[in-house]
Amino acid sequence: MTGTKAWVKKTTNNDIIGHISRKTGLPYMSVKRRYLDDAFTAGDVILIARAYGASPVDALEETGFITHAERAAARDTNGMDTGMALTVASDEALVGELSRRLEDARGAAPTV
C-alpha cells in the first residue's frame, strides 16, 4: 500500500492540516494525528479526494485500499461502469448493439 501521507501531500498540493480539516469537515486533531502516523482511513481518503477535486476511486486504488483488479472488475473495457456507458451512448450505438446481439442470438451474421 502506498503511504496515505504521500498521497495526501500530492493531492492537496501540500496544503496545511487546518485547510485540509476545513475542506473535508474532518476534525483538525484527527487529520493531524493521521498525517503524522501516515494512517488515513479509506473514508478519509474519499473525503480528501472529493474536497480537492480528485477521483475517490483513483484515490482508493492509489492508496492501496482497493486493488487494480477490484477496480477493473467494476468497469467495462472503456473504463466506465455499464450504467454510465449506457447513459452516454448515442441512440444509434444502442440500437446497433441491440441489433448485433439479436442477430448473434439468431445465429446469423450481424449486419452493420
Give the pLDDT score at 71: 82
Torsion 7-9-10-13 (CA) sign: positive
- pLDDT (mean) for 34-44: 96
Give the pLDDT score at 76: 56
pTM, to two decimals: 0.66
Least confident of 22-31, 50-59, 62-71: 62-71
On whether the CB atoms of residues 31 and 21 are closer than 8 A, the answer is yes
Give the pLDDT score at 100: 83
Q: What are 10's three cell numbers?
A: 500530492
Q: What's the rounded Cα separation, in Å, for the pair 56 and 67?
A: 13
